[in-house]
Amino acid sequence: MTTNHPAIDKILISKDTLQKRVQELAKEISQDYKNTCPVFIGVLKGSVMFLADLMKNTAVDHSVDFLCPSSYAGGTKSTGIVRLLLDLRESIEGKDVLLVEDIVDTGLTMNYLLENLRTRRPRSLEICTLLDKSSCRKVSVPIRYRGFEIPNEFVVGYGLDYRELYRNLPYIGVMKPPKAEKNK
């Protein structure tokens, strides 16, 4: 699928396909958490659109909190260095936690977040990611809910950015090679 957007090479996952899959995930989550009141932890900033759509389609009562790790510092390659720029507002001790992420690539960010959150003694801790680039994995991550498996390409849209841009696109698109990196 093509688009007129000057920065996007092609549409990988259309708006309709995204919405349909998010509804399926929300149905599964609603079923699995029907006897509890989970807390959805959105991993900022990339998960915001996915989290909002997931929340709207989830039938069980749940609370929401946010974490903001940093590892990419504005580029397209993982540095492997994870810092926590924003921490949770509420304690998760004894709670059923669902970590909601935009994409798991090397797995380094998720691995760090899991280790960090486990020390806070939640009752359960599961991962829901919209996208999975499993071919890029450096550390194994137990993903409970997965939207789409995607190839090793840098994608933007539906919350995912390149240098803070393109989060607003309603689809997942593959970027044209960034000019600065193309000239290197």
Q: How far, rounded to the nearest angstrom, does the alpha carbon of residue 90 sit from its chain's CA centroid?
A: 21
Give the C-alpha separation, 65 to 53, whole Å: 15
42 binds ligand 5GP (CB under 6 A): no
Q: Which of 21, 127, 108 is nearest to 69 (CA)?
A: 108
Instruction: Report the run of H or E that residue 22 belongs to, with start and end.
Output: helix 15-32
105 sits near ligand 5GP (criterion: CB under 6 A): yes
Chain-centre distance for alpha carbon 66: 12
Pairing of strands 155-156, 172-175: antiparallel
Q: Interface with ligand 5GP includes 108 (CB under 6 A)?
A: yes
Q: How far is the CB of 103 from ligand 5GP (least distance, A)?
A: 5
- The residue range among 2-10, 83-91, 113-121, 150-158 that interacts with ligand 5GP, by the rule CB under 6 A, is 150-158
Q: Give me the least distance between CB of 161 and ligand 5GP, in Å please.
A: 5
Q: Would you say 16 or 153 has its CB closer to ligand 5GP?
A: 153
Of 53, 96, 102, 105, the catalytic one is 105
> Rule CB under 6 A: which of 59-88 touch ligand 5GP?
71-72, 78
46 is a site residue for ligand 5GP (CB under 6 A)? yes
Instruction: Say how far residue 120 (Cα) sits from the centre of its chain.
Output: 21
Catalytic positions are: 105
